[in-house]
Chains A and B, each alone.
Chain A
């Protein structure tokens, strides 16, 4: 998240003094984006305080209360508001803790991809020549393989699936988008007068990269990052569903859906509730990301 903090400031200095106020004014015009932000904040809140908010431990198996339906159905019990799963674990607690894993995966994938993507993209743009070709072709290669297939392949190579390996696989798969974005905008910025002026003034290339060019490439990267979080969550959930993500008993949403799919006809809440959680989270992030794009992209602003 360190990236966010450094990046907001330069844009501000580049345009007008109250740029955040301007951004906010533009952002809140978009009702969907605000709704997304509200829901997302709620999910983040639940994830952070899951230990306090969850009624039970997500791992405790209540052997006398197996496959209880949500409390408002017949046979439900208010001790388990959303029912229990096949091993008698509280669904609500598992979903609350699951938010942690999903957000953690989403944010770490985003952070790592931003750092690596920006570094590789700038390097490709500035170095040019064979370094540029090498980086670009490797990224082309990654894009050429369907992302989920590639992620499965990476996990298979790394063996013994785990949460960390999921993050690594999803990061590699999503890297090309960042690299290409940064490289393209850096290249277009480099031809502009202010960069040439800086060069003439004798600015060192590292400073040129990080202080002069980078801040001006960041707006699209931020938008990509926001939308990338939801992609990362979805891909991690798909891996979890296939049993290649977080290992039991981790209450990861994708894994919960995967384990519960045999109950879809008899005890549907075991599989639908975590699925719903993924859906709501991804939609809210996407709405928020769209709003962010509209507010940050000058071309899309109202004329």
Chain B
């Protein structure tokens, strides 16, 4: 018994040695991720964890340039937009191969227009054969108002697809670069339907992306291998492994020993340690988000512009960045973060000047002490690590200009509901963008969202701002839109419906031998284009 066990052990050891020898030649990149995906069809999901897991396998019609929010060609190599902006014609890339040999499926044809129709119709048409598979809830598709926006999607020929919209919509291209618009194989879907196992479609993915799916073990590992026929060229790494490691401390430990090449979100208190380690590189990226403090412009005295400006001057923004964000954030002056195009860097933030703020309050006819309420979120958000502590800093600063702020909070769901009903005088909130289009942020201050229950909790409805917003939504010319958005930022700053607090910084870490990784401002993890020295 005993010797046998030793023999088995020795055998296992030898096998491991052999295995590692082979993997030494092949380049294996291990990403230590934070959790297991729900499935591999992004249209069904809403979490970054699930999107990250499916991304290596798939492509979309258009994609974000790695490390930016700029939209570029993917499966559609070019597209035309009609004069009125309502018709978009996508010319599809030819000769794109589907992954072969996954789940017993061998594709008989290249990617074509049928796949595009399949992918969108599944989410759009309730009578589609795949519409009800795997729960059949397409949150992003509905939340982005796609059912209302789409008039038709037609196949003109095998390599031309025409999207017709009910109204011009400039952000549509950015929206189509989001994960929910992933293109899946219609042929593979038919193959599984015939086999009587359609639910496998969302568990064992077949795509056109840079990596081909190998295996997935829940809570343990996802394996991919390089797709040699990827249209943009075979990836530099041969094997891509997602080692699922929910605990941030063990992720860091594994990174240090070299078990991981790249890790998701280290803890803030470990950042210094990573910076000091010569074998590791700390990556950081301003998050595509904003934390703000909204003034309810329907409630006096916040109906007065001067009062809102005075409040902007009263708060020590630097102290918030230093003490609450621990430096992992940058002070915000606009609603959109600087990583988004059309960010107007010429906008000047209000200085921290309590004396002037006091004088302005007096000039505006406000009698001090002024009693207000200040709402803070009960939970941590990606854009705001501790709303309560920020509220305490604000409270202290406000007391210096004769304003007594009462701190108020509710359970998170209740908080949003009440704030959207406009019950607050002032409230903290924030936003994380998901496609990098300024439209995805500015709708938070337009008139349509200022309705009862709308997301514009400042209730600010400025005609000049709103006209530009609508105009920008209906033109596709980026230059015109940029100009409009830049003007909107000036208007918003002048009218001060809110106090922009910060854009938080997102952290990841990698081994020093990893080259070419670019952090996505959208929080996505993309491993195509990465190599190891």
Contacts and interface: CB of A to CB of B under 8 A. Distances in A.
A87 B389 contact: yes
A15 interface: no
B323 A66 contact: yes
B319 interface: yes
Interface string A254-277: 000001000001100000000000
Interface in A106-144: none
B388 interface: yes
Contacts of B323: 63, 66, 86-88
B115 interface: no
Interface string A58-99: 011101001000000000000000000011100000000000
Interface in A239-263: 243, 247-249, 259
Interface in B424-459: none
A265 B269 CA distance: 10
A106 to B, nearest CB: 24
Nearest to B380: A262
A165 to B, nearest CB: 14
A266 B395 contact: no
Contacts of A61: 319, 392-393, 396
Interface string B382-401: 00000011011101100100
A231 to B, nearest CB: 27
A87 B269 CA distance: 18
B408 A160 contact: yes
B393 A259 contact: no
B407 A248 contact: yes
A249 B408 contact: no
Contacts of B388: 248, 259
Contacts of B409: 243
What is the interface residue range for chain A against chain B?
Answer: 10 to 19
A245 B183 CA distance: 53
A88 B396 CA distance: 12
Interface string B259-290: 00000000001000000000000000000000
A265 B378 CA distance: 22
Contacts of B391: 248
A157 to B, nearest CB: 14
Contacts of B154: none
Interface in B309-332: 316, 319, 322-323
Interface string B360-395: 000000000000000000100000000011011101
Contacts of A63: 316, 319, 322-323
B407 A247 contact: yes
Contacts of B399: 59
A60 B395 CA distance: 11
A60 B393 CA distance: 10
B406 interface: yes
Given A86-B389, A259-B388, A247 B406 contact: yes
A247 B407 CA distance: 7
Interface in B149-170: none
A85 to B, nearest CB: 10
A225 B388 CA distance: 36
A243 B316 CA distance: 25
Contacts of A248: 388, 391-392, 395, 407
A66 B324 CA distance: 11
A249 B319 CA distance: 17
| Highest count of chain A CB atoms <10 Å: which of B322, B392, B393, B406 | B392
Contacts of A249: 392, 395-396
A144 B183 CA distance: 59
A207 B408 CA distance: 49
A243 B389 CA distance: 13
A243 B378 CA distance: 10
| Highest count of chain A CB atoms <10 Å: which of B316, B323, B393, B408 | B323
Interface of B: 269, 316, 319, 322-323, 378, 388-389, 391-393, 395-396, 399, 406-409
Given A248-B395, A259-B389, 12 more contacts: A59-B399, A61-B392, A63-B316, A63-B319, A87-B323, A87-B389, A88-B323, A243-B409, A248-B388, A249-B392, A249-B395, A266-B269
Interface of A: 59-61, 63, 66, 86-88, 160, 243, 247-249, 259, 265-266
6 contacts: A61-B319, A63-B322, A66-B323, A247-B407, A248-B407, A259-B388
A-B pairs, top 8 by smallest CB distance, nearest first, are A61-B396, A63-B319, A248-B392, A248-B407, A247-B407, A66-B323, A249-B392, A87-B392
